[in-house]
Amino acid sequence: MASINLHGNSYEVDEDGFLQEPDKWTEDVAKAMAEMEGITDLNETHWKVMNYLRDYFKQNGIAPMVRKLTKDTGVNLKEMYELFPQGPANSACKWAGLPKPTGCV
Amino acid sequence: MASDTPLLDELEKGPWPSFVKEIKRSAGKSPKAKDLLGVVEQSYKDKITHWKHGGIVGVTGYGGGVIGRYTDIPEKFPNAEQMHTIRVNHPSGWFYTTKALRTVCDIWEKHGSGLTNMHGSTGDIILLGTDTDQLQPAFNTLTENGFDLGGSGSALRTPSGCVGPARCEWACIDSPHLIYDLTQTFQDELHRPRWPYKFKIKASACPNDCVAAIARADFTIIGTWRDSIRIDQAAVKEYASKGLDIENLIVARCPGQALEYDAKAQKLSVKPQDCLRCMHCISKMTKAIRPGKETGATILIGGKAPILRGAFLSWVLVPFIKVEPPYTEIKELLEKIWDWWDEHGRNRERIAETIGRLGLKDFLKAVDLKPIPQMVYHPRSNPFVFF
């Protein structure tokens, strides 16, 4: 199992870089993950999307569908890919500390 | 020395081209291919897969196109630890120049295992087995050479079609051009998953349906015609004189009973209004019978595999539509379908299931189509009609 190190703390991640213990998520974790994908400063909209994902996951136990995400955050898909290079599932959910999307991807 | 792969070695015997031989040939050049053999041999022994669940990898800007895969025995086969698959969109009809294929091979030998599927069942060129850090470089080189990724995930998947008029005299539509055009038009839908689930488009240029569009696509386009089949009586005579049993093999097997044969005059005639355009007579007497001149396509919807609510063949949505560039009508219909499905579809619900759950009536209203008899095989047999 791989891990990322941050300020002396170690976080377990799977091969794809998804956090294995979602409870340990902090904003610094998100920043570190974003940096690995080349995004160095997270803006307000980044946080809006990630906070929405975290809240939705907390309430429903699953990640929202893409349409729901774009509708509720007001961030359309094009902007979403500008903010999160590999899109809502690969990047946004990962940075927000949600479990890895599954199924026929 | 005993072989490392005794079980797989058995599959080098026999007349059919052996995939084991192919992988072994690659194994000389590629450590990934070598370790893949090891993983597969282990699976043959244990009778279970040795790939882990899931895997999410990709390239910048796209939400799909790459299928991540990791082995669960990386300690034994470290080179196969990461075995991601890249889907590369194929040219319509799978026509290649050797130059194009050499380009793909060169790229893949450099950035991956050198192993491929030609092709995945949706149609893509499948590049089998590479590491995460090679994905972006492989993608960059592919696009520099004019190739793009195919689809994966809850998105429009790579559309595909039969060879059509490129080399088939029955083609009623230009399926390769239509597929190319739709692929280009809907690049965004293909690369950036946004729907409840996957959506596939396939086009066959006649009802023989050589890409199995009716079974393997949510949106099925099948070429047809609306005038009469064309019969060349001289050619019919020639078939008869060569001993073809036209009466029993052609006329008696016509499902619409649309054919009549005058054995004395060796003359075949058709009642166009009874013809179901099943292709049987055309397929049997290729030199004598042709599809009509007024061609177009039937559009069907809903084909899918069993999960979750049973397998579906696509059913008729539009009995006849003209198919001419820029294909505006088809594109508008697709967009209406996607709008409705995206709004109402549940997570991981194929279009057929959404229609099944909410009813054909609502669906037809949403996509501006009128219910017509051709849409059903028979009317409902229960009286629970909603007004």
SS3 string, B29-52, reads CCHHHHHHHHHHHHHHHHCCCCEC
Burial class, B206, CB count within 10 angstroms (exposed 0-12 / middle 13-18 / buried 19+): buried
Q: Are B276 and B256 in contact (CB under 8 A)?
A: yes
Tell me if B63 and A85 make a contact (CB, 8 A cut-off).
no
- Segment B133-137 shows an average pLDDT of 97
Arithmetic mean of pLDDT, B66-82:
96
Say if residue B2's pLDDT is above 90: no
* Cβ neighbours of residue B62 closer than 8 Å, sequence gap 6 or more: A86, A87, B149, B191, B192
Q: Does a structural domain hold residue A14?
A: yes
| Angle, helix B328-344 to helix B351-358, in steps of 10 degrees | 70
CB-based contact B153 A105, cutoff 8 Å: yes
> What CATH number is associated with residue A42?
1.10.10.370
In a domain, A38, yes or no: yes
| Average pLDDT of the segment spanning B129-151 | 97
A12 located within any domain: yes
State the pLDDT at residue A8. 82
Interface residues from chain B to A (CB-CB < 8 Å): 52-64, 67-68, 70, 82, 132, 152-154, 188, 192-196, 198, 342-343, 347-348
Q: Tell me the DSSP string of B205-244.
A: SSTT-TT-HHHH-SEEEEEEESS--EE-HHHHHHHHHTT-
Residue B45: phi, psi to the nearest 5?
-70, -50
**Separation CA B124–CA B110 (nearest Å):** 20
CA-based nearest residue in chain B for residue A83: B61
Interface test with A, best of B194, B343, B349 (most A CBs within 10 A): B194
The contacts of residue B323 (CB under 8 Å, 6+ apart) are B173, B174, B178, B221, B223, B295, B296, B297, B330
Element (H, E) at A71: helix A66-73
Q: Output the pLDDT for position A30.
A: 95
CA B42 – CA B57 distance, rounded (Å): 25
Q: What angle do CA B234, B238, B242 make, to 5 degrees?
A: 170
Domain that holds residue A37: 2-95
Beta strand pairing call for B201-204 and B160-161: parallel
Q: Is pLDDT above 70 for B127? A: yes
Least confident range of B51-60, B218-227, B232-241, B321-330: B51-60
Residue B268, pLDDT above cutoff 90: yes
Residue A100 within a domain? no
**Closest chain B CA to residue A90:** B56
Contacts of A45 (CB under 8 A, 6+ apart): A75, A79, A83
Task: pLDDT tens for chain A, 105 residues: list them.
Answer: 678 888 788 899 998 999 998 889 999 999 999 999 999 999 999 999 999 999 999 999 999 999 999 999 999 999 999 999 999 999 999 999 998 887 655
Give residue A1's pLDDT: 60
| DSSP SS3 for B90 | coil
> What does the pLDDT average to over B163-173?
98
pLDDT band at B63 (very low <50, low <70, confident <90, very high): very high
pLDDT of residue A103: 61
Nearest CA in chain A to B340: A67
The answer to whether residue B146 scores a pLDDT higher than 90 is yes
> What domain count does chain A have?
1
Q: Residue A103 falls within a domain, yes or no? A: no
> Is residue A91 in a domain?
yes
Q: Does the structure show a pLDDT above 60 at B368? A: yes
Q: Is A104 a catalytic residue?
A: yes
For residue B53, pLDDT beyond 90: no
Q: Does any domain span residue A102?
A: no
Residue A105 is assigned to a structural domain of this protein: no
**Contact yes or no for A94 and B63 at CB 8 A:** no
The span from the first CA to the last CA of chain B, in angstroms, equals 78
Residue type, A5: N
Amino acid of residue B102: R
DSSP run (H or E) holding B281:
helix B280-284
